[in-house]
Amino acid sequence: MALSLDQVFAKVEPDSIGYVYDAPIHYIVLNRKDNSWNLDRINEYISILDKIEAIKAPGCLVTIGTGPKHFSIGFDLGYWMQDQNNAFASLVRF
């Protein structure tokens, strides 16, 4: 029996990128108010994708943003402004 979206959301920590596997469905939940992207969040997302790719079974991926207005506002420009290397590293990794 498939999980409901409420059950998926209940399995995800606040202020995180959550991953829930309900075979054959992989859920990635972007669970922050703005769901902006900095290098740490990009690396966290890529780590989850690596987990999914390691599963040798058919499946599908559903990515859900829980922000109140937006799926994602894009890159974290405040983080980029702290050091231009932050912007460069984020773009390269993304």
**Can you give the CATH number for the domain in which 50 is found?**
3.90.226.10
pLDDT for position 8: 95
Angle ∠(48,12,93) on CA atoms, nearest 5: 30
pTM as predicted: 0.86
Which range of residues forms the domain containing residue 79?
A: 5-93
Q: Which two three-digit tokens encode residue 68?
A: 């109140």
pLDDT for position 18: 95
Domain count, the chain: 1
Averaged pLDDT, 79-94: 92
How many CB atoms sit inside 10 A of residue 12's CB? 19
pLDDT for position 86: 92
pLDDT for position 72: 87
pLDDT for position 69: 77
pLDDT over 80 at 94, yes or no: yes
The partner residues of 29 in beta bridges, in order of sequence, read 18, 64
Q: Tens digit of pLDDT for each residue in 1-54?
A: 689 999 999 999 998 999 999 999 999 999 988 889 999 999 999 999 999 999
